Chains A and B, each alone.
Chain A
Amino acid sequence: GAGVSQSPSNKVTEKGKDVELRCDPISGHTALYWYRQSLGQGLEFLIYFQGNSAPDKSGLPSDRFSAERTGGSVSTLTIQRTQQEDSAVYLCASKSTDTQYFGPGTRLTVL
């Protein structure tokens, strides 16, 4: 595709439910990042995938958060037992050399 795509664009869920967020990176980009951005806040790094290497999970805030990347392409971020403080925009970015290209994000609202 022409750019990074994410789905869904908006997700409203109830506290305690699990959610899955999807990211389709730019074809050929081997690096993929997930970030979280809360209202008025900067970008909070969550997880980084590079090729077939083990992902850097150092930014995941708790063990309720996990992510996988299948076939070196599509990535899914899963949040289990969602909490209200998980409400944020979740951004995915894929990278070519040093340049990151961001997707449009998924706005998650936990009621």
Chain B
Amino acid sequence: QKEVEQNSGPLSVPEGAIASLNCTYSDRGSQSFFWYRQYSGKSPELIMFIYSNGDKEDGRFTAQLNKASQYVSLLIRDSQPSDSATYLCAVIGGSYIPTFGRGTSLIVHP
């Protein structure tokens, strides 16, 4: 069974700090990796996707993928209180069905 694991948190960081969110996955054939942000009571929204090993940067967000170690991470620089949300990791393997982690709750305190 394909599994995607995330620490449920909450991860608490001060405003302006770097938040580091991690995700591990079990399926070595996984090809596509996604990070979603979900505010309480809202639906998930895509932040970033990454396909290749290494780093991918988009504004304050950086996704890091290491297929050999089967982990993907999301770094949020200069964290803001508005970044407080649950962050979901999703992985797609050979099928088109993504497997989602349960999410990590991030709290950015002023």
Enumerate chain A interface residues (CB-CB to B < 8 A). Answer: 31, 33, 41-43, 45, 48, 50, 56, 58-59, 91, 98-105
Enumerate chain B interface residues (CB-CB to A < 8 A). Answer: 32, 34, 42-46, 49, 88, 90, 92, 95-103
Cα(A91)–Cα(B36), bound, Å = 14
Residue pair A102, B43 in contact (C-beta under 8 Å):
yes
Given known A-B contacts A42-B103, A48-B97, A98 and B32 have beta carbons under 8 A apart:
yes
B46 neighbours in A (Cβ, 8 Å): 99-101
A100 neighbours in B (Cβ, 8 Å): 34, 46, 98
Residue pair B49, A99 in contact (C-beta under 8 Å):
yes
Residue pair A45, B98 in contact (C-beta under 8 Å):
yes
Residue pair B92, A43 in contact (C-beta under 8 Å):
no
Residue pair A43, B96 in contact (C-beta under 8 Å):
no
A91 neighbours in B (Cβ, 8 Å): 43-44
B34 neighbours in A (Cβ, 8 Å): 98, 100
